[in-house]
Structure 1
């Protein structure tokens, strides 16, 4: 069962978190170029994949429970960083993209949070989570 949960967790991370990270990261560049068609697609990817990406922590928590490692420090830090990444996406990045799109559609100057910086933090957060998942400092599972 662990191998099935791990496979689903890793596949979901690659297929769902990867695209939202790329789409969110590309958005600021295309916003500067005022490419509305591209921005609409990137915003839709960010929105839809962020919701679908909820499967990643669901399967990750199921796997951690199955392995009895929910109290391991590396996992708790990873879960906290996942909450930070989700909050960045839901509270700042996706709404920021929406504001930029609305302003550009009205041919106005877009203002608001620095999306390039926020998406950089978002991507960095996921990079740290991946490293923690691989290295698992202090792990007691010997796997």
Structure 2
């Protein structure tokens, strides 16, 4: 923890609470990133030449960039679908854990706009934090696909 850097005791106390929470958050971020890397490595060792996908979340909240993409479809409601995938990454040619966010029309069948598609470990931290609790699901789907 920090030494008393502030004259105000309330400010010092508030900052110390923030500092403690930031330390825990940073430890969690490191652990989450390590889990993602370790799972990718272990799946590579298994040499599974199959793809899998797990739909993780549905949202009606959009970023400014996403709102700009869908505003041309006036009055057409959209939802954002978040998925985890184990598939070949187009850039590296290797199977990777991939995060996908699709903006899907709720009224026009087949209308979807890709908002993000990239290896999970390369995604912004808020995405990794949201997806971490779902990593086991991709393993479960892969297991189901190879059951004999």
TM range (shorter): 0.3 to 0.5
- Bigger Rg over Cα: 2
- Normalized per residue, the structure richer in strand is 2
Asked which structure has the greater RCO (Cα within 8 Å, sep 6+), the reply is: 1
Normalising by structure 2, we get a TM-score of: 0.36
- Normalized per residue, the structure richer in helix is 1
Normalising by structure 1, we get a TM-score of: 0.37
